[in-house]
Amino acid sequence: GGYVLKITASIGIALSPRDGGQADGLMQAGDLALISAKRGGRDQYAVYTPALSERIARRFGIEQGLRRALEKNELEVYMQPLVEAGSAQLRGFECLLRWKRDGQTMISPADFIPVAEEIGLIEPITTWLVGEACKHLASWRRATRRELFLSINLSPRHLLREDLPHMLLGALRNNGLDASALMLELTESGLVGGLELVRERIQQLAISGFQIAVDDFGTGHSTLGMLIELPIDKLKIDQSFVRDRIPHDPEAVKVLDAMLALARELQLHVVVEGVETAEQARFIRTRNPQAMLQGYYFDRPTSAYTWDGLLLDGSLPQYEL
């Protein structure tokens, strides 16, 4: 039909008798190695190891549990403050997912988000999270009379969905909020690849009034051109540039200063993650008082219900710098 098709092979390798003396067991080990080769990005081979089958079993377990987590009410929204450096005032929160599996074991989002993305659960989970988060935000805004905002992590594959802006605007409308109440965090790796569709969606989101932030800035394939081309408002400087390194590591100081200068030149706002000490917070404040700070020095991520206890009284957390 005039198309050029590129065909690749993924190969799983198992050895007899090491990985199975009988055909059945050997085939099974080969299949697991094949799954691993495909998950690793295809067009490659993988050799079976017992650790591989443990990993796959663990992943399968996460997958099964996650499919039921929403209906079993096992997910929770945690919120971590974003504090303005100059004034030490609370401005907003980043929403971070938590999964309390079977009501007890806490599973890290770093472990279950990639699975949720792969099995198509990230969309319903994010829809749920945004709905919950907006409900909290609306009540906090009423009680504190502050225009607090929320920052939401969006997975790259979610950007492909045409109904994403509609979903976000719907959740806001249900709670009497508008798009300026949400900042959307996209990772650098989600922005590269030059996908026309992704660009279009970002334009569409910006036109709808959402603030767009590049998350984990500095860790991905840097896309400096993109920062100019796309309607990006904020850079979130990754915690690896700050935590354990600022202010005593001269190289880290140089890199951080360069990133702050870049943001200033491009007129982008900055959020600095991984602020664990007062010294780090003050260090950034002297360089950019408008920067937003996030980190254990101020607060760890805490359940939105815990924040209710403070904010619904009309109080705000007090931070010192």
Q: How many CB atoms lie within 10 A of CB 265?
A: 8
Residues that bind Ca ion (CB under 5 A): 153, 185, 215-216
- Nearest approach in angstroms of CB 48 to ligand C2E is 30
Q: Could you tell which of Ca ion, ligand C2E, none binds residue 113, using a CB distance below 5 to 8 A set by kind? A: ligand C2E
Binding flag, residue 81, ligand C2E (CB under 6 A): no
- With beta carbons less than 8 A apart as the criterion, state whether 298 and 275 touch: yes
Binding flag, residue 243, ligand C2E (CB under 6 A): yes
**Binding residue for ligand C2E, selected from 247, 296, 302, 316, defined by CB under 6 A:** 296
Binding flag, residue 96, ligand C2E (CB under 6 A): yes
Binding flag, residue 74, ligand C2E (CB under 6 A): no
Amino acid (1-letter code) at residue 214 = V
Three-state SS at 92: strand
Q: Which residue has the tokens 């992704």?
A: 198
- Nearest approach in angstroms of CB 138 to ligand C2E is 19
Give the C-alpha separation, 238 to 250, whole Å. Answer: 17
- Nearest approach in angstroms of CB 184 to ligand C2E is 11
| Nearer to Ca ion (CB atom), residue 303 or residue 315 | 303
- With beta carbons less than 8 A apart as the criterion, state whether 130 and 158 touch: no
Binding residues for ligand C2E, total number by CB under 6 A: 23
C-alpha count within 13 angstroms, C-beta hemisphere, residue 138: 15
- DSSP per-residue letters across 17-82: TTT-SSHHHHHHHHHHHHHHHHHTTSSSEEE--HHHHHHHHHHHHHHHHHHHHTTTT-EEEEEEEE
**Binding residue for ligand C2E, selected from 109, 114, 131, 170, defined by CB under 6 A:** 109
- Nearest approach in angstroms of CB 54 to ligand C2E is 23
Q: Binding pattern to ligand C2E, positions 6-45, x when CB under 6 A?
A: ----------------------------------------
| Nearer to ligand C2E (CB atom), residue 108 or residue 180 | 108
Among 188, 177, 176, CA closest to 149: 177
**Binding residue for ligand C2E, selected from 33, 75, 97, 121, defined by CB under 6 A:** 97
- Nearest approach in angstroms of CB 224 to Ca ion is 19
Reported as type and span, the H/E element at residue 242 is none
In eight-state DSSP terms, residue 119 is T
- Nearest approach in angstroms of CB 7 to ligand C2E is 32
Strand ranges (E), 201-244: 211-217, 234-237
Our CA dihedral for 270, 272, 273, 274, rounded to 10 degrees, sits at: 180
Which residue is at the shortest CB distance from ligand C2E? 295
| Nearer to ligand C2E (CB atom), residue 33 or residue 97 | 97
Contacts (CB under 6 A) with ligand C2E, residues 152-171: 153-155
Which residues are 211's β-sheet partners? 183
Helices then strands, each counted (H, E), the chain: 12, 12
Binding flag, residue 276, ligand C2E (CB under 6 A): yes
| Nearer to Ca ion (CB atom), residue 186 or residue 198 | 186
Which residues are 82's β-sheet partners? 92
- With beta carbons less than 8 A apart as the criterion, state whether 93 and 82 touch: yes
Q: Could you tell which of ligand C2E, Ca ion, none binds residue 295, using a CB distance below 5 to 8 A set by kind? A: ligand C2E
Q: Which residues bind ligand C2E (CB under 6 A)?
A: 80, 96-97, 108-110, 113, 129, 153-155, 215-216, 239, 243, 273-276, 294-296, 301
